[in-house]
Structure 1
Amino acid sequence: MRSITRVLLALALVAAAAPGDTAGNPARPDRYEACLDASGGVTVEMLDCAEVELSWLNSRLNGHYGEAMAVLPADQRVALRDLQRAWIRYRDLDCGFLNDQALAGSSGLLLQSSCLIDKTRVRVGAMKDIEARARMLFKGDVAN
């Protein structure tokens, strides 16, 4: 059973460290993979690596969100805010479920972190697209 958990954990971490995402956003394999490699498989250190990567991704996500909000009309800003809040709730519940399935042990925490990174990477790409469409449709318009 432990070997299956280790294999699943290794696959999850490789997926989280994969360069780029489906929206063409570059990952930071130079930092994230190097951090994971340097962790020596120590859970606490791997979780620290994941925290740094997730923080970086959230910063990018918030940047694109803010830029989109700056050009959208008021009604669409409210819609985007509601959409983003719902997505955050979904992401956190979905990734928390992985932790719950692993009985909240260290492997669960690693799976949850990997899930948060994967989903946030994809969302950064989606938000980047939302920002680009907002700029294209509402450029020159002053957001109210």
Structure 2
Amino acid sequence: MIVRFSAVCGLALWASCGLAADACRDPQTQAEMTYCAGEDYTLADRELNAVYARVRAAVPEAERERLRAAQLAWIKLRDLDCDLAAFGVRGGSIESMTITGCKTQHTNQRIEWLRSLLAESL
């Protein structure tokens, strides 16, 4: 937790200094790569929330609690899977980037799965 917290704090300071604006075009340092992984995850998470809201609106009211429970369980599974995926780099400078990249990949897969629910309901 301390490693992640300090990395996030450092990245927040780095971004607030204006250094992050062009960094994701061609990240060269570990800090840039970690920052860019965070940016990718932020975009995926926003899209996930938008698609989830559309699915929630499309499913019958009687199914909404199942959808909510499934989504919460999926989030927990994603986070645990991604924490495990970083076992080989635990404590290293790429740990947080590895976890974030994993979360982005799983989130994008979930987006596609949720979209398939929308396609089936049409």
Please tell me whether residue 72 in structure 1 is matched to residue 52 in structure 2. Answer: no
Instruction: Give the equivalent residue in structure 1 for 2:27.
Output: 39
Please tell me whether residue 132 in structure 1 is matched to residue 119 in structure 2. Answer: yes
User: What 5-or-longer segments of structure 1 have no aligned partner?
Assistant: 1-33, 137-144
- Return the letter of the residue paired with 1:109: S
Task: Report the aligned-residue RMSD.
Answer: 1.7
TM-score in terms of structure 2 length: 0.73
Instruction: Give the equivalent residue in structure 2 for 1:121.
Output: 108
Which secondary structure state, in structure 2, belongs to the residue aligned with residue 104 of structure 1? coil
Q: How many residues align?
A: 100
Please tell me whether residue 112 in structure 1 is matched to residue 99 in structure 2. Answer: yes
Q: Is the CA contact (8 Å cut-off) linking 1:99 and 1:105 kept in structure 2?
A: no
Which secondary structure state, in structure 1, belongs to the residue aligned with residue 53 of structure 2? helix
Q: For structure 1, which segment, 112-121 or 81-90, has the greater mean C-alpha deviation from structure 2 after superposition? A: 112-121
Q: Is the CA contact (8 Å cut-off) linking 2:37 and 2:100 kept in structure 1?
A: yes
Of all paired residues, the percent bearing the same amino acid is: 29
Deviations 1:62-120 (A, max 9, x none): 11110111122222111011111111100000001123442231122222122111111
User: What 5-or-longer segments of structure 2 have no aligned partner?
Assistant: 1-22
Partner of residue 98 from structure 1, selected from 66, 71, 85:
85
Deviations 1:24-62 (A, max 9, x none): xxxxxxxxxx81x5221x111111111111111111111
